[in-house]
Structure 1
Amino acid sequence: MTDAALSEPSADAAVFVQSQKLAGLPGVRHAFFTRQGGVSAGLYASLNGGLGSNDDPAAVRENRRRMTAALGLAPDRLAVPWQVHSAEAVVAVGPWSRDEAPHVDAVVTATSGLAVAVTVADCGPILFADPKAGVVAAAHAGWKGAIGGVLEATLARMEELGANRRNVTAALGPCIRQPSYEVGPEFAARFTAADPENARFFAPSDRPGHALFDLGGYVTGRLAAAGVGGVDDLGLDTYSDEARFFSFRRATHRAEPDYGRLIAAIALV
């Protein structure tokens, strides 16, 4: 875990946190955007990046414009997939509309000036970069995608474009953390059936038969096992930090009708 670098808030500016390891790479820009610095209101206040939410689409488009501006890119240079909790990754050479977006959970590119991105609201956003090969990627890893292999699929697609996983730095941004992530016995059984060593990612809960799942530890463990050269974990909890992050689980516990989405994006420049 490392301390995340935080952008300085200012008027009309999207606020984001960064991985210090990714921030030190040449020719790469990235951001794990917070919920601050946008124009959305109500449940979506204020930097909601989710076109799949019930927010005003014009507000979301303005929020995304602010995000690309923060990365030094033109407003239309953002490729976000239609996420389905899969283990699939695609290569992008340009942006697409939401209706044309591939139904996958990771996007890889070697195209300069194009930000690849994912939306999250508790699941793990992972940004990847191999600056030597000039390849970057963004992946969305909830528990289903993580156990299904979305991280490994992302690395395989990066290698198709010339990356070497030993030269890849991967950073896990804000996601739901173990103290906030209670699960039932059938959930833990799925993981331990896949690998008994996965028991180390579960801690006892106050409720009998339940456990607390370490999604961040599981994701970073799989990245390390996949042979990634460097792994960074910002250690930030979407559920507990309401001021900075949207959370699907927090909204569910409050019986709220919808929730905003955070954007994690990375680009070659």
Structure 2
Amino acid sequence: MPLRSHLRELRRRFFWAALGIAVGAVVGWFLFEPVFEALQHPILEVAKDRGSLVAINFQGVATAFDLKIKVSLFLGVILSSPWWLYQFWAFITPGLTRRERVYTFGFLGAAVPLFLAGCLLAWWALPNAVRLLTSMVPSGSTNLIDAQTYLSFVMRLMLAFGLSFLLPVVMVALNFAGIGRAATWRKGWRWAVMIAFVFAAVMTPTPDAITMIAVALPICVLYFAALGVCVLHDRRVDRARLAAGLPRLDGTTADEPRTRR
């Protein structure tokens, strides 16, 4: 497919993904009240425990309206995740046969729960993060947290966790598309583990190591699970190529030893 066709396809997929997020945002508009109550619950718990003034502050006249729009869009991204994940899959795997397109159901069946699981893990870590960050306020002071700043913090936290849990699915999708070989993922496993723990340390600003390990360990497990799927897929492809008289994807033939990279 030429570059111009790729760009047209990217624009089309992006349009449909954005349209799905917009529809989800309309639904999110009507869910604003219960969602906002859940968002401010960690702050109210901190205020109750310390007996001090810790609250969300709306500074401007239009701040509440802007916040409602941002929460709606945030919910739109989460609610429409099956739709825009499908658009991503359809863009990177346009050349699949009809039989291979069955993998689409497996992709969505894994990607959507993993994305939501990442968001839930971030939600689990949110109270500890709020408790730690607000504990640095000097005694006798009030902590009026800007509503926009707090929402941006929560959104970045949840989306970062959700997208990080999609890494294994992206690995498998690229492998099935013939872009990323299992040998490449195997070679970089040490970097993947290190990045997972650095990510967990940055995104969970709590003093205990248990929370960091609880966040990093699932990411590492998912990485190695995806690596296993890629290895099995590469072996199946190599067997099919050898049966057809073609060399393996790494360039070796049936009479040559498989190269390790």
- TM-score under structure 2 normalisation? 0.25
- TM-score under structure 1 normalisation? 0.24
More strand by share: 1
Structure number with higher relative contact order (C-alpha < 8 Å, ≥ 6 residues apart):
1
More helix by share: 2
